[in-house]
Structure 1
Amino acid sequence: MTYSVRIAKHYLLSVFILLVATCTAQGADALPSWNEGKAKQAIVSFVERVTAQGSADFVPVPERIAVFDNDGTLWAEQPMYFQLLFAVDRVKALAPQHPEWASQEPFASLLKGNLKEALAGGEPAIMQIVMTTHSGMTTEEFDQIVRDWTSSAKHPKTGQLYTRMVYQPMLEVLTYLRANGFKTFIASGGGIDFMRVFSEEVYGIPPEQVIGSSGKAKFEMRDGTPLLMRLAEINFIDDKAGKPVGIHQHIGRRPIAAFGNSDGDLQMLQWTCSPPGPRFCLFVRHTDADREWAYDRASSIGRLDKGLDEAGIMNWTVVDMKNDWTKVFAFER
């Protein structure tokens, strides 16, 4: 190979690398599952402003913190929260060890297949189901139980594994933010130990960057081995007003970007976007009854009512799932 040919090839390679870097920095094709529109442009514009050296809105890398709700924001939450479906399956699996459940609510109704009746007791009934099925084992044993469930249990509508019921456009946002120096966290009302099992594999978010509701645990020595035993007691509820508290306790920095889908995320967005300076808040609005579900103000799951009003007043970004996303799930044809 002649010297001139080597120089030409080196030059072309350098140009190619520069083009790729430029495209990445500018967000070109970074969000391919998003239609061109206000929502996509708002995300790209925000990222470009806070990452541009010399910009009045430039934010140093350590301060580029983004928090995401999980249920209804990163993955689906219908016909009910997936962790609750996990708990229901656990009741069925544990039933042979608890003959008293045959006459004890809410377990009796669950074992008869009457989910509506079992949940008629509202939040206390749900907490009883969750606390009972998520305790009495070590933390390692619980991790394995969740891992086994997520590798086999399938969604009743799509027949897909629950970990496939993830929104492809939001995965692209996570990747885009991280490529631009952001650290991404989950801040969810779901169980912290439940989500930590799959968060890194599914979202690229390591377990130490997951914030969620938690039960208490106790240190024990068993045959000379140190263990953490899960107790049937609530430690912290990471929902509504609890979300800013959980974020503060775990991260120690106020985020500059927050993503949610329901009124349970409202306080997180309010807290994130209230200080001066570049801030970004976004609600995912479920408007696609064909590819997913259509629900907001009147829904008993993932209700978006007060948050929708607040978004209009504060000029936050609202994603219209039907019109803003070309694809909802990766498994769509």
Structure 2
Amino acid sequence: MFFRGVNKLFQFNFNKNISTKYCNLLQSTINNYSTMSSSIKIGTHNGAFHCDEALACFMLKQLPDFKTAEIIRSRDNEVLNTCDIVVDVGGEYNHSRKRYDHHMREFKETASSVLKRDDCNWDIKLSSAGLIYCHYGHQIIKQLVPELMDDEDIHSIFKRVYESLIQEVDAIDNGVSMFEGEPKYRIVTNLSSRVARLNVQWNSLDMNVDAQFLKAVELCGEEFKCFINNAAQVWLPARVYVREAIEKRFEVDPSGEIFELNKSLPWKDSYFELEKKLNVDPPIKYVIFKDDSWRIQCVPVGPGSFVCRERLPEAWAGLRNEELSRVAGIDECVFVHTGRFIGGNKTRNGALAMARKSLEISKSLIT
């Protein structure tokens, strides 16, 4: 059964309003994560749970060695010593012994220190999720996307998912702020927040913490698989197009500061990785691509940033159609956003002309 002492789960007095359908769903979830005959055990702590150990448990369950493992929730070292692998509890980090706690005062491991790869220089302190991902992530990706055979592609997905999901979980669990100072607003819809809301509430009369942990594992699993599948099926194929576009940038404009995509696709994260890999110089300022018409978009200073290397000219901000064409001196203009990070033109030549004119104006302001 999924948890030691699971009899409590079935002795638990469910509220009469809870439907048989819910009970059947809960039983199905338990069956998916456990086997009564399993001799393999994953240990983690009992009581209130967090995103990192729920995600760590899900990731381990994707590996053949732990697919049928029973999850033991306890803080009793005698109980934990019977487990084949322990996460987020136990006061020990020892890969050879499969012990992955991160709460010790002396623990300072990061993805950089664990992976020891030049292309993995991340310095956020690891949580149990990050530890499991760093040690087993490549194997987990192979299990979830078996059609991927190329080790370089697998590692690219590994890095993509670390930067877009695992690093966030690690940082939140370890209390690492995104930036200095007070935020202007709160983000309470991230994965860690959603997991936290699954914990038994102080005034709840009919919630079972072990059953709620099952939901947390399922929730983390769905999110994790979504990130893996998106990286494999959407991001990785798009990366091929982005690389080709970067390599052909001097064919688009002699400056090398404009590149062209023949369709609208996710390019930003791929771009910054490839920019370093291909030693792109000078840095690219604008990309043009075909959407319903044509778009010109400013390249930001980094992934997820709203700060652009060069914005579109201030005189164009918020203008549309004939007025924009008149001010810019370029035919077929459609719009420029008031934030000056994106604009549109009805034709490729028009979008390229807008990019070239923007470069010309920005360089004249510098000189």
TM (norm. structure 2) is 0.20
TM (norm. structure 1) is 0.22
- Which structure shows the bigger proportion of residues in strand conformation? 1
Structure with greater contact order relative to length (CA < 8 Å, sep ≥ 6) = 1
